[in-house]
Amino acid sequence: MIRVKTIPLAIIIVATILGGVELTRATGYWRTTSSKQPATFSTGELSGMPNPADIRGSYTWRDIEKAFGVPAFETASAFSPSGTPLDVDVRVSVLEDLYAVLVPEGYEIGTGAVRAFVSLYTGLPMDIEEGTILPEAAINLLADRPGVDQATLSSMVWPGLDATSVVESMPKPMSEATPANTNEPASSSGSGTGTGSGTGSREDRVVVGRTTFGDLYSWGLTESQVEEICGFSPGPRVQTVREAAEAAGVSFSSFKDSLQELIDN
């Protein structure tokens, strides 16, 4: 039998552990803190954009805002079950406990609901798990955003709420809506953030390189109008029109003026 003295054995063990740590660091597997950068889409026109399906329970509302541009305070308020906004630095995994005794059997409001909310808010695609629903405040917030998928939003309405009235209350693009007074200027409830968060004043509605599809929708254009002028299918609302044009092999300048003319009229 081979006997190993205590001290040399301890040295061997420590050296093995340290060697393993250095190896995992070198290969990228060592993490002292969790990453709050979601995985990105790797192919197609969405390549490089964050994937809402990768949002984890350890994310805070602030983490989500940094990764996806979804306002932390606004979202935390929309998911608060008490009416008092959740702290923006609270992990979204707390929703599972907060709503456990509130939602009907067979339904859930948790991390999956946050993923679905971010997907609908940004227009970035993902498969939504069956039984995932949203708080009424979150539904109302999404209903106020131009271009939101109405069918998907209706399927996520809290059981007991009137899904039809929610969808009917969703704003229509200005080109489809009947103005109450044609002599009044369009509402300027926002300045255009790149995600279609507001209509913006007429002076703000200028098509530039950083203009997103969300901006175009919030300025009154429909998806079919944008597709007809650009010559390719529009991407998600958070994507810039220039990026989508480059991915489609189309020159941004070839249709930029046509878009501007339609917006101005």
Alpha-carbon dihedral angle through residues 85, 100, 33, 116, given to the nearest 10 degrees: -70
Each of the 265 residues of the chain gets a pLDDT tens digit; together they read: 545 455 554 455 545 555 554 554 554 444 444 557 899 998 888 888 999 999 999 999 999 999 998 999 999 999 998 767 889 999 999 999 999 888 888 899 999 999 999 999 999 999 999 999 999 999 999 988 877 888 899 999 988 654 444 444 433 333 333 333 333 333 333 333 444 444 455 657 888 888 888 888 888 888 889 999 999 888 888 788 888 888 888 888 888 899 989 888 8
- E strand or H helix at 73: helix 72-78
Written as one letter, the residue type at 224 is: S
DSSP percent split of the chain into helix, strand, coil, nearest 5: 45, 5, 50
pTM: 0.58
Backbone CA torsion sign across 157, 161, 163, 168: negative
The token pair at 38 is 């979601």
The token pair at 200 is 């913006």
